[in-house]
Chain A
Amino acid sequence: MGVNKFIKSVLGALNLKEFELKSKKKSLKTLLSKLKKRRVKIYKELKKEKSVQEIEELNEKLELISLHIKNGKERLNALKKPSKKY
């Protein structure tokens, strides 16, 4: 058995590839929860009295966060289906 084949079989036997995938999923979930908390904070900020410029800046942040959350969720779903590559 070649060295590469041996390493692959050990990785397979120890489920290390699965471990890497799980670690990525966990990171994505943690980041998504942080982003959601940040979005709530911005919503609360928007309810306070602000200048037009401040409101514009907060809305821009909100838009970017929502985009990250949407993309993050899509990537998480893709990770749950290992056959699909994203």
Chain B
Amino acid sequence: MLAREASDEPTRRSAADGSAPVILLEGITKVYPMGEETVHALRGVDLTIRSNELAAIMGPSGSGKSTLMNIIGCLDVPTSGRYCLNGRDVARLSQSELARVRGRGIGFVFQTFELLARQSALRNVELPLIYSGASAFERRRRATESLARVGLADRMGHRPNQMSGGQRQRVAIARALVQRPALLLADEPTGNLDTQTGDEILGLFADLHRDGQTIVIVTHEPDVAARCRRVVRLRDGRVESDEENA
């Protein structure tokens, strides 16, 4: 475990120069039946996100934004197309392999935090490590580290219902970071927060990005997108625009 980490660390740092693609999507389509009709949620999406990018995916509802996020997050598989996550083709993986990729390669941040209400912040952050089989000692160490990273070193024993919304989202981010994932995938991370707290969370994302973390934020708020360096807009299942913010 420790040996693997030691070798992990330099790779991630060296990839921070922005050349290696973390996400490589080629001709991704997603079709699913809805009653009698079939819905074409994605009609051929090509997208490359490189290491250490901070990208926003925007689009109105029905644009295929959520479907794309599910595929990027390995929660769903595309109908056709190629998806390489961190150099590994994940488009045709089995359920159990997808679970493994989700657990180790992707950190999720949800709009509604999705914390286990009855468990302490520390236990919440330890959750992904439980499923990857880390020892209790290792879990404790890395969860503590991760909570400290998001500025909650003094709130580890608190339960989510004893915390503010911003603190809860920080716990969720700590949980997403605890496996040192190749990709941090956030779905409307500020949607349930007031403007000021939302700003703080976006500030935290910016800090993480500065430290080399690859982050994709799915949002419909222009304010959030404005703080990302790159904005990908979707419409009707296709990439409408893909531009760098000034």
Q: Decide whether A and B are members of one complex.
A: no
Interface residues of B (CB under 8 A from A): none
Interface residues of A (CB under 8 A from B): none
